Amino acid sequence: MRRSTGLRRWLAAIAFPSLVGFLPIVQAQPIAIAAQPPRSFGYSIGDRVERLVEIDLGTPWSLAQESVPTPGRQNAWFDLAEASVLTAPSPTGRHVTLRLVYQLLNSPTQPTVLLLPRVGLRFEGGPAPVERDVAPVEIFAAPLIPAAASGSTLDAPRADRKPEPIPVDAVRDRMTVYAFGAAALLLAMLVARQIALRRHAGPFVRACRELRRLAHAAAQPDPSAAMRIVHRALDETAGHTVFLDNVETLFATPHRAPLRDRTRAFLGRSRQQFFAGTGDPLSLNELREFARAWRALEAGHR
């Protein structure tokens, strides 16, 4: 019996100090508030005063959002322009930054000490809500002009100052030069494109141009010259001199087949004209229509 009682006393003596050290850790859930002081001097009407309140919350505490001041008139001197809450995790729970921005609404008649209002905060999450105050803080404000200047010209309203005109002459001249440069570049590109298209034009595109020039060059165009132009385009298309005897090589590709009969008829009339010396030559209009048909075929299979 004595051994049992002694053992219990010995265990209690060991466990009690450990329990006493452990209880504060379990029960203590800290709420630490540190208000950073704003600049305390140099304010006048219209200036803003920023106040930061740093709050460290242990688990499970949280700041009740409805206890955060809402923007609006606070007293005769200050309006709360902004109120924001930034929350971030911390090793012991969470860290809250409360940012309050006040604006000075009135101008004192002489240098005066003013008080930023008290802020009452409530915290929830524990056994019961906890309320803490952020104490008022003093700032020093002064009038825009000294009291002795009241009623003088310094205190008289002044007309709005018209804005100075912005010098735009250099910019306008530069934009004009840019516009002319861009237009010249565009024109050069168009000319180069037309030259490139002419150089790479198909045989019957060139033939149509020559026939058009021939039609406008003289009142009675030479039919023989017009037929030679069409012959040359046929030869370039086939890659060799085209006659009735070898014309089928021109139609080795199926897309040229629709013009087989008209081409054979042209070559037949050409043989009669140039070799037999009989028959009437094809008119310039007929040759131009024939060349246009080949040009359309050419454009469709590039």
Tell me the domain boundaries of the chain: 31-145, 199-300
pLDDT, average across residues 132-159: 80
Distance CA 208, CA 18 (A): 110
Provide the percentage of residues in the chain whose pLDDT is more than 90. 36
CB count within 10 Å of CB 227 equals: 19
Give 31-145's CATH code, choosing from 1.10.1760, 1.10.730, 2.60.40, 1.10.15: 2.60.40
pLDDT, average across residues 93-103: 95
pLDDT at 5: 52
Q: Which of 60-64, 65-69, 154-158 has the lowest mean pLDDT?
A: 154-158
Q: Is the peptide bond before 117 cis (omega within 30 degrees of 0)?
A: no
**DSSP codes joined into one string, 17-49:** HHHHHHHHHHH---EEEEEEPPP-S-B-TT-EE
Q: Strands 31-36, 48-58: parallel, antiparallel or unpaired by DSSP?
A: antiparallel
pLDDT at 192: 81
Q: pTM score, two decimals?
A: 0.45
pLDDT at 139: 95
In the chain, how many H helices and how many E strands?
Answer: 6, 10
pLDDT at 2: 44
List C-alpha distances in Å: 261 to 123, 240, 247, 264, 280.
101, 19, 11, 5, 19
The number of angstroms, rounded, from the C-alpha of 242 to the middle of its chain's C-alpha atoms is: 62
Whether the predicted pLDDT of 20 surpasses 60:
no
**Residue (of 165, 166, 115) closest to 141 by Cα position:** 115
pLDDT at 181: 92
**Of the ranges 105-109, 131-135, 155-159, the best mean pLDDT one:** 131-135
Provide the percentage of residues in the chain whose pLDDT is more than 70. 82
Distance CA 60, CA 125 (A): 5
Q: Which of 115-124, 127-136, 167-176, 210-219 has the lowest mean pLDDT?
A: 210-219
The number of angstroms, rounded, from the C-alpha of 259 to the middle of its chain's C-alpha atoms is: 56
Distance CA 41, CA 46 (A): 14
CB count within 10 Å of CB 226 equals: 24
Whether the predicted pLDDT of 11 surpasses 80:
no
pLDDT at 218: 65
pLDDT at 131: 94
Question: What kind and span of H or E run contains 269?
Answer: helix 260-271
Whether the predicted pLDDT of 219 surpasses 50:
yes
